[in-house]
């Protein structure tokens, strides 16, 4: 989930400029989450490439090919940029050494994580797999896709009712004592994104097995 309070970068952002990239090259693989203004759920999660040269930053998303170019504003506080369209962009704290955050002029956010263990934006799954369908308690509800099989873990993306997923594995739900639910690791057929969804949000294949 998104942090509820974000701090605009100031002098301390000089330290953040390292972004956990110490001893790394100026181009590194990462994964990116995009949030609409005021939203706590990412509307897009993708593998991405982060590049930084002489204060200029480029971010390339894998899933949709979008590229962001941030140029530092001369004689301004560190962390203040303009994008390729001349709009203001502000670097924010909140992820520590795990990554960095950029806020756009419309209030939307780009979160960049150095953890690349999740296969966001990867290719489609192989044929012959077990395919389930996401379901929701009400039409239009967003279904959280989490980084670990627990409700306390970070929501890395969300799905919608009707989305088809490849069911990779399922484990017992340990959030509540006596729970009869499971958490299942799924991969979306459309985007290739992976994460954990609780079993009451999944319609399983006809064999009924987890």
Residue 126 in any domain: the answer is: no
Give me the domain span that covers residue 146: 131-203
What is the predicted pLDDT for the residue at 41? 66
The pair of structure tokens assigned to 3 is: 């942090």
Do 47 and 20 have their domain in common?
yes
> What is the pLDDT averaged over residues 125-153?
78
Cα-flanking dihedrals φ and ψ of residue 48, to 5°? -150, 170
Do 108 and 21 have their domain in common?
yes
Do 74 and 24 have their domain in common?
yes
3-state helix, strand, coil in the chain (%, to 5): 5, 40, 55
Domain of 163: which CATH number? 2.30.30.40
pLDDT at 69 over 70: yes
Number of domains forming the structure of the chain: 2
Which tens digit of pLDDT belongs to each residue from 102-130? 999 888 899 998 865 544 444 344 444 67
Radius of gyration of the chain measured on its C-alpha atoms: 19
| pTM beyond 0.75 | no
Count of Cβ atoms closer than 10 Å to residue 2 Cβ: 18
């Amino acid at each position: 989930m998104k942090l509820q309070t974000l701090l605009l970068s100031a002098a301390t952002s000089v330290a953040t400029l390292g972004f956990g990239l110490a001893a790394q090259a100026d181009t590194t693989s990462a994964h990116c989450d995009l949030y609409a203004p005021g939203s706590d759920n990412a509307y897009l999660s993708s593998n991405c490439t982060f590049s930084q040269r002489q204060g200029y930053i480029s971010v390339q998303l894998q899933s949709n090919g979008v590229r962001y170019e941030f140029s530092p504003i001369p004689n301004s506080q560190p962390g203040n940029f303009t994008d390729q369209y001349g709009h203001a962009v502000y670097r924010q704290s909140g992820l520590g050494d795990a990554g960095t955050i950029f806020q756009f002029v419309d209030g939307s956010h780009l979160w960049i994580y150095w953890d690349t263990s999740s296969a966001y934006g990867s290719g489609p799954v192989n044929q012959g797999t077990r395919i389930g369908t996401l379901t929701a308690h009400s039409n239009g509800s967003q279904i959280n896709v989490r980084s670990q099989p627990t409700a306390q873990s970070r929501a890395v993306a969300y799905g919608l009712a009707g989305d088809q997923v490849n069911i990779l594995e399922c484990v017992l739900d340990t959030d509540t004592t006596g729970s009869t639910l499971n958490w299942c690791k799924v991969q979306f057929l459309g985007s290739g994104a992976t994460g954990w969804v609780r079993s009451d949000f999944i319609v399983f294949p006809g064999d009924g097995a987890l």
